[in-house]
Chains A and B, each alone.
Chain A
Amino acid sequence: MANIRVSHLVKQFAEKAAVNDISFDLGEHEFLVLVGPSGCGKTTTLRMLAGLEQASGGEIYFGGRRVNDIRPSDRNVAMVFQDYAVFPHLTVFENIAYGLRARRAQSKLIKERVVKAATAFRIDHLLYRKPRQLSGGERQRVALSRAMVRDADLYLYDEPLANLDAQLRHQAREDIMALHHEKQSPSVYVTHDQSEAMAMGDRIAVMRAGKIEQIGTGAQLYERPTNLFVAYFIGTPSINLFDVVVERAPEGLRVRNAAFDLLLPPETAHRLEKYAGKPVKMGIRPEDLHVPRLAPFEVTENNQFQGVINVIEPSSTGASVYLSTLEEKAQDFTATFRTRIPSTYIGREIPLAVHLQKAHFFDAETEQSILAE
């Protein structure tokens, strides 16, 4: 088993840098998720790890060995492709056995391992079928079995769930995690779905325009985003962003805009001290807006404001409520409540309590977090 180290990796395509100087380490049993909008370079990074794409700069090390110039077939990685890349002319058995045959394993060993992997993914009854006769989910499990049957140093997943429907996706997630627990090898998983990333990754690297914006555990990214992009990308519904001005008042620092006037709690206030009189961006997660009588903190004039309800979307645990502020140039925002709101509330004005201890603040120009320093 090897640690994986990526240092200053660059991939240049003609004019454009698809991957622009990224570095990260991957622990022995770690499951790292690369997440970002399409075109951010996450798949290119994965393909460079596999060797399918030649790096234009930087280094990739597998346990101390530089692998930049080593062919994919000699890197001992396993990869699950978005379209599964299951060979249609081979039976399920031969598909799973492909890597072992390429490595000239003994046929007794092949049989044993293929059956074991197929059983783990519940396709052992389909071993002698052709992929044409399988459903999408079953084909995906063939691809997973093919990855499982070998002992690879690194497991790579290129959006393996993108082509599955929602029901199967959950099952497939469990299957992938089961494979990871069985192998305990470092894994890199690419997705554009942040909720998938949050659910699966030991650590998550959020990428944008060829760079890693932030790398950390799901909780770190969610609670301590280092910049506006990460804050906005992680979490559904997305964080609410307000342009506010920090103002000094006798009782402390206040943040103000046309819709509200809030008093910052002391622990946040001292961080924002040097922004007094300046505009900043305030981010409030939808679940940090509460119905005042149910708020888990004391609600005063200093931490609430008014909004008007536009849409109520009931969920299994409560409701997502889409609101607007009251001023003339109304701003839309979202709140998720742990209580059901009857649809008769649509159009009504309600007070909202803000959990200011959990609010995020970003520099208006650099978009870097002010709290995370």
Chain B
Amino acid sequence: MSVGTDVIEPRPAVPAVEGGRTRRRWLNWLFVIPAILFQFFWGWYPMVIAIFLSLTNAPIRGAVTFRGIENYVRLASDPLVPMAFRVTLIYGILSIILTFIIPIITAILLMEMPPKTMRVMMILWFLPLSGIASTLFWQYLYNEKFGIFQYIATAVLGLPPQAFLSSERLVLFWLIVPGIIMYGPGLYYIAGLQGIPKSYYEAAEVEGAGFWRKIWTISLPRLRPIISMTLLFSIIGSLQEFTFPDLMTRGGPNGASRTVVMYMFTLLNNGRIGDSTALAVMLFALIMVFVLVFRLVFKSDPDV
């Protein structure tokens, strides 16, 4: 017997019509099937095929013959492969350090500004820019003879002429710089910060917390889910970088900016499909390792 008067009687979830349950299940599948088909044809199927092809001679025409790990052995002796992996890792780490941390700091500082200033700054920061057009624009900025960066380096700072994108040592760094400005997960952080109740900050202030303590004990913990999501996406994204370095440098100078995906593309163009898929499988394994490590380190926290 129930004590309260406001106990809601459990109602049957399915209309008590004959065949109602089957129809509901059928409808559920109808909605889910497009996504499953999409995942299947553009995700799982290519992945399985790639793993399979990487173990064959993968000819464009003629019979497919099983070759075991021959492709992998050949890649292992190719000096360009470790070089591409090195470039990819450096590129990934640099871009995460520069394009991941800076937007968080910027977003937090933006929130401290008066609302009017903040709105103007946000428009500037999140201007919708076309990827390829602004990439070409960046090429001009980096131009060694008449680019504005060269002007700043020589005329303003009085430095010797800089090589920028033709420097083997620094090309990766210069490739990341545009990302600081153009790649903006900052909007997510702003949205996240705006969702934090004001009273948390006020309580912290009354309790004696200064600016840094408020950021460290309130802003960052509250942003944690967004931070972990964007971090995961930027790890995956930066390890698969292709378009931007390809447009800017074509992998040069001397392969100093040739990422794994770019080398895969080269192999493919040379008709070495088996080697290309083997390289793809290796990159896939590397990314999976990173994602697993990430999942172990960044446990999801239900309290946030």
Q: A98-B217, A102-B213, A132-B303 are in contact. Are A89 and B222 (CB under 8 A)?
A: yes
Once bound together, how far apart are the Cα atoms of A162 and B213, in whole Å?
30
Question: Counting CB contacts under 8 A, is B302 at the interface?
Answer: yes
Binding-face segment, B33-41, B54-62, B196-204, B289-297:
B196-204
Measured between alpha carbons, how far is A74 from B207 in the docked complex, in Å? 9
Determine the chain B residues whose CB is within 8 A of the CB of A247 once the complex forms.
none
Q: Cβ of A52 and Cβ of B208 under 8 Å apart?
A: no
Known: A98-B217, A102-B208, A103-B208. A89 touches B301 (CB 8 A): yes
Residue in B205, B208, B303 with the greatest tally of chain A CB atoms within 10 Å: B208
Question: Which single residue of chain B is at the shortest CB-CB distance from A133?
Answer: B303
Chain B contact residue count (CB 8 A cutoff): 22
Give B176-197 as 1s and 0s: 1 = Cβ < 8 Å from A's Cβ atoms.
0000000000000000000001
Contact of A146 with B199 in the complex, beta carbons under 8 Å: no
Number of interface residues of A (CB under 8 A): 30
Which residue of B197, B207, B221, B224 is within 8 Å of A98 (Cβ)?
B207
Given A50-B206, A52-B205: A130 and B303 within 8 A (CB)?
A: yes
Given contacts A81-B199, A81-B203, A98-B204, contact A89 B303 (CB under 8 A): yes
User: B217-246: which residues lie under 8 A (CB-CB) from chain A?
Assistant: 217-218, 221-222, 224
Bound-state CA distance A78–B209 (Å) is 12
Q: Which residue of A lies closest to B222 (CB)?
A: A89
State which of B204, B207, B213, B303 has its C-beta within 8 Å of the C-beta of A88: B303
B202 contacts A73, C-beta separation under 8 Å = no
Q: Smallest Cβ distance from A278 to chain B, in angstroms? A: 51
Closest B residue, CB atoms, query A146: B207
Task: Let me know if B205 and A99 touch, CB within 8 A.
Answer: no
Contacts of A164 in B (CB 8 A): none
Q: Which of A258-309 contact B (CB under 8 A)?
A: none
Q: Which residues of B contact A146 (CB under 8 A)?
A: 203, 207
Q: How far is the CA of A51 from the CA of B202 in the complex (A)?
A: 10
Interface hits, A75-109 → B, CB 8 Å:
75-79, 81-83, 85, 87-90, 98-99, 102-103
- Once bound together, how far apart are the Cα atoms of A75 and B206, in whole Å? 8
Residue from the set A75, A77, A99 with the largest chain B CB neighbour count within 10 Å: A99
Contact of B8 with A by CB under 8 A:
no
B residues sitting closer than 8 Å to A (CB atoms) are 197, 199-200, 202-210, 213, 217-218, 221-222, 224, 301-304
A71-B205, A85-B199 known; 8 other A-B pairs, CB under 8 Å?
A52-B206, A73-B208, A78-B206, A88-B304, A98-B209, A103-B208, A132-B303, A146-B203
